[in-house]
Amino acid sequence: MEFIHYSVKDRIGFITLNRPEKRNALNFELVSELKAVFLEAEIDPEVKIIILKANGEAFCAGADLAYLKKLQGFSFEENLEDSRHLRNLFYQIYTLKKVVIAQVQGHALAGGCGLATVCDFVYAVPEAKFGYTEVKIGFVPAIVMVFLIRKIGEQKAKHLLLSGELISRDKAVTSGIVNQIVSREELESTVEDFAQRLIKNNSAQSLELTKKMIAEVQTLPLDKALEYAATMNAKARGSADYKKGIQGFLDKADLLW
């Protein structure tokens, strides 16, 4: 791939944005490569957790300037198709069967902030700034809005989306965009240690089903959500992972008592 590096080590799939000279800005080709590599990682039996990271000073600066100029000549139908291209990537990451951790070593702005938003966990360095800056250039943070409101709630999302302001450190955490701020020196090891804890301690099937339920249960009426939850609970009880995990728990309990 031209703009992406992909590697696997110790059951972690590493997806690295590799367009540092353009601050890893998004264009059609980069989005296409991301879609392809996330699919590859999702079906790879050697991968249990995915880490999305980037080379260079910025995590992702949003849309490429040359690409934005190109879009000005598009018809409505062409712009709609292009918007769906990005929508499909965000939806793919949000609903991916495997947990995705964003390792943010620099600024994540506009579409780049959206890219981090749809990941399941976000770890960032203190210097990284986040912002949905589209309103400052007459644009709309349309696609990420759907996911951001789900993630942090309407009021917090409204402030970030309408102000377009850049936020950093403490506010990024308190707003719910970032899970943890980590020094640049410790970012990589901290993220990988967290990934390994998920790999060693948690069932892959349980992670997949829990992530799937989080995405789906929010759109259901209360009674249907509870019935859906009961159904998924019953299905999980019949799984091999459940039976193995429960037996291991019971064996430990017997030893303790």
Distance between CA atoms of residues 203 and 206, nearest Å: 5
- Decide if 97 contacts 74 (C-beta within 8 A): no
- CA nearest 15: which of 50, 65, 60, 56? 50
Catalytic residue among 29, 33, 40, 134: 134
Distance between CA atoms of residues 66 and 40, nearest Å: 29
- Decide if 130 contacts 166 (C-beta within 8 A): yes
Record the tokens describing residue 37, joined without a space.
């590599």
CA distances from 98 to 29, 51, 151, 228 (A): 23, 10, 18, 21
Catalytic residue list contains 2: no
Kindly list the catalytic residues.
134
